Amino acid sequence: MGHIRLGRLPKVKKWRQVIALLGTEQAEVSNIAKATVEAANDAFNNFNADPGPYYCYWLLTQITWHARSDSFSEILFSMGLDIRKEQSAIGFVSKVADFASLEIKKFGNQTVFTEIAQMSMREALLKVVSERSQSLFGTTSKDIHMTLKGLSTANQFGKLSRLFFSSFLNRTLQFFISKEISNYVGPDKNFSHIDSLKNFDKALDTFCYQSAKIVEDFAGGWYSKRSWQGDITQDDAKNFIYVALKKLREELALEESTK
């Protein structure tokens, strides 16, 4: 599964085009783009000790896989996650997020990536569950169960993974962009304000979603294979995240080398 290659993926928004929406001059566009990619790459290379991203992704595999069972709620309850009386999509996602937060705290060694991963898991789950169920609030536990069961195929889990990694990449780049921009803000510098912030955020979201396509098929194939072989362990999830982030780093490196 780790050798699936999709080739160079065409993008509506190129990395430097996204950065240019910040309103900087061309030289600053190049500097911000380069510095942000380098910072993200360095961070991705050095966060292996952080259990947050691995655990959040592993939890997504468990929720979808166990949704195949008629005893879905009972299985999650045995894990410590009680959703037996949950009647809304947003309530379900909140319980999953709170459960993940409590479990991750037991590991220690948290970095900024823990928070990013938790927000990404919440965003991805809420998007798919609310879209597939009747509404954010007016749904039932059975609706939630059936929605999650629908995500347990290779194709649909791949799409869920794409949402997770798209959000993860977006939030990571935003984190480093915000740091780099500070070097160009001030009365004696060219960059003093952001007039096109909404356009920038929208373009960055599109860019990250397009970039995350590279892990969609990979995630679906991996999920199918691991599920067929047996339960997916946290070590399995950790190994997958390592390869998936490597693919995203390679995608960013290609974007940065494209002038």
Least confident range from 1-5, 87-91, 116-120, 186-190: namely 1-5
Q: How confident is the model at residue 69, as a pLDDT? A: 92
- Does a structural domain hold residue 66? yes
- Does a structural domain hold residue 7? no
- Does a structural domain hold residue 135? yes
- Does a structural domain hold residue 2? no
Burial of 186 (0-12, 13-18, 19+ CB in 10 A): exposed
Count, in order, helices (H) and strands (E) of the chain.
11, 0
Q: How confident is the model at residue 111, as a pLDDT? A: 81
Q: Give the pLDDT band of residue 110 (cuts 50, 70, 90).
A: confident
At a CB cut-off of 8 Å and minimum separation 6, what does 168 contact?
A: 53, 116, 117, 120
* Mean pLDDT (whole number) for 4-33: 59
Widest CA span in the chain: 65
Q: How confident is the model at residue 120, as a pLDDT? A: 96
Per-residue pLDDT tens digits for 142-182:
888 888 999 999 999 999 999 999 999 899 888 888 776 66
The owner of tokens 């410590």 is 80
Q: How confident is the model at residue 253, as a pLDDT? A: 76
- Is the pLDDT at 105 greater than 60, yes or no? yes
Q: How confident is the model at residue 70, as a pLDDT? A: 92
Q: Give the pLDDT band of residue 7 (cuts 50, 70, 90).
A: very low
Number of domains composing the chain? 1
CA-based torsion, 67, 72, 77, 78: positive or negative: negative
- Does a structural domain hold residue 5? no
Chain mean pLDDT for the chain: 79
Beta bridge partners of 191: 185
Residue 96 structure tokens:
């999953």
Q: How far apart are CA 167 and CA 149, in angstroms?
A: 22
Query: Containing domain of residue 179, as a range?
Result: 15-257
- Does a structural domain hold residue 163? yes
- Does a structural domain hold residue 189? yes
- Does a structural domain hold residue 3? no
Per-residue pLDDT tens digits for 28-80:
666 677 777 777 777 777 666 688 899 999 999 999 999 999 999 899 999 99
